Amino acid sequence: MKKTYENIERILISKDELSQRVKELGAQITKDFEGEEVIVVGVLKGSVLFMTDLIREIDLPMDIDFMVVSSYEGSTVSSGNVKIIKDVNIDVAGKNVIIVEDIIDSGRTMHSLKELFEVRDCKVFKICTLLDKKERRKIEIDADYVGFDVPNEFVVGYGLDYDGKYRNLEDIGVLKPEIYTK
Ligand code: IMP
Ligand code: MG
């Protein structure tokens, strides 16, 4: 076991399960947008590993862009104020936009981003999230593409962090609660 795994209680989703599901999502998006071009927008930083794997499974002409939003500051509970730190550079009016997120928790981030893109007159706006923690939803929001539903536990790895760490794990694991309660 790698040293970076020492604070992981258990593996929730293995690297093989991740790559299989990412293939399926890519194939589904390819089918849904047949004959179209897409703009894939990743929400930094958590979505980076998922996004780079996902776009290689999407067989469509595309461009990519990134946003930085903030809601979490070294805490495992969403603070609820979503701030746009970095916006997309591409003009998305009339374009098919797929926003890629690591996890939907309270739903506040995606709810705000959806409202933001609605006024930008995209042709189509879709949400693709690797993980969905539906139990914790505070605002109603449904993703169009969901990799995995996850239980109400704090998960890290494959891009997801706790206090900036664990993004480089190949699998998704549940963090030992003593790490964030101490
Ligand atoms: P929401 O606005 O509450 O839906 O928050 C979504 C953001 O919270 C995600 O993009 C993550 O950055 C963070 N987040 C929520 N749950 C987890 C988790 O279990 N592990 C790591 N990050 C999480
Ligand atoms: Mg995030």
pLDDT tens sequence across 98-124: 999 999 999 999 999 999 999 999 999
Residue whose entry in the numeric block shows the structure tokens 């862009």: 65
**Number of domains the chain is built from:** 1
Q: Whose CA is nearest to atom 5 of ligand 1?
A: 105
The residue whose two tokens read 């309270």 is: 106
Give the residue numbers spanning the domain of 24: 3-180
30-62, pLDDT tens digit by residue?
999 999 999 999 999 999 999 999 999 999 999
Name the percent of the chain in helix, strand, coil, to the closest 5. 25, 30, 40
The best mutation among 102, 113, 149 to test binding of ligand 1, ranked by most ligand atoms within 8 Å of the C-beta, falls on 102
* Distance in Å, CA 108 to ligand 1 centroid: 10
> Which residue out of 32, 53, 65, 105 is catalytically annotated?
105
- Cα of 101 from ligand 1 centre, angstroms: 9
Q: Is the CB of 71 under 6 A from ligand 1?
A: yes
* CA-based torsion, 167, 168, 173, 177: positive or negative: negative
Q: Is 46 in the pocket of ligand 1 (CB under 6 A)?
A: yes
For the segment 171-179, the average pLDDT, to the nearest whole number, is 96
153 Cα: distance to centroid of ligand 1 (angstroms) = 11
Domain at 73, CATH number:
3.40.50.2020
- Spatial CA neighbour of 85 closest among 97, 98, 73, 102: 73
Q: What is the pTM of this model?
A: 0.94
44 lines ligand 1 (CB under 6 A): no
